[in-house]
Amino acid sequence: MDITKVIVRKYEAEGKNNLKGFATVTLDDELVLTGIKIVKGSKGLFVAMPSSYWESDEKYHDIFFPITGDFREELTEQILQAYKETKNKDKEKGKSKKKHDEEDD
């Protein structure tokens, strides 16, 4: 399967906890996966698959997940790249807005 689209939404309370955002991934323009978390851990950013709590064993289990290490790596790379691009766009918007506000003074 090919990753055909990645959309990242930054988490509004960024900086207040380790959750940095959410990703939605489209595979082969036919299947959409939502609820993928972007989390800051002790070794940097990582991607966490959506999970559900199972009362039978009192543990969380991923709802969906990559089977191969290669696909997990590709998925992680594309999601984290999209997250970085989203952060950069937000920074540029902030600079542009600040410059525009200064010109109005």
User: What pLDDT is attached to residue 97?
Assistant: 55
User: What pLDDT is attached to residue 105?
Assistant: 47
Q: Say what the pTM is.
A: 0.81
Q: What angle do CA 42, 21, 46 make, to 5 degrees?
A: 35
- Among 9-13, 67-71, 80-84, the least confident range: 9-13
- Among residues 31, 41, 30, the alpha carbon closest in space to that of 80 is found at 41
User: What pLDDT is attached to residue 84?
Assistant: 94
Q: Report residue 78's pLDDT band, with 50, 70 and 90 as the boundaries.
A: very high
| 55 CB-near residues (< 8 Å, 6+ apart) | none
State pLDDT tens for residues 34-68: 999 999 999 999 999 999 999 999 999 999 999 99
Return phi, psi of residue 9, to 5°: -115, 120
CA atoms within 13 A on the CB side of 5: 10
* pLDDT at position 100 over 50: no
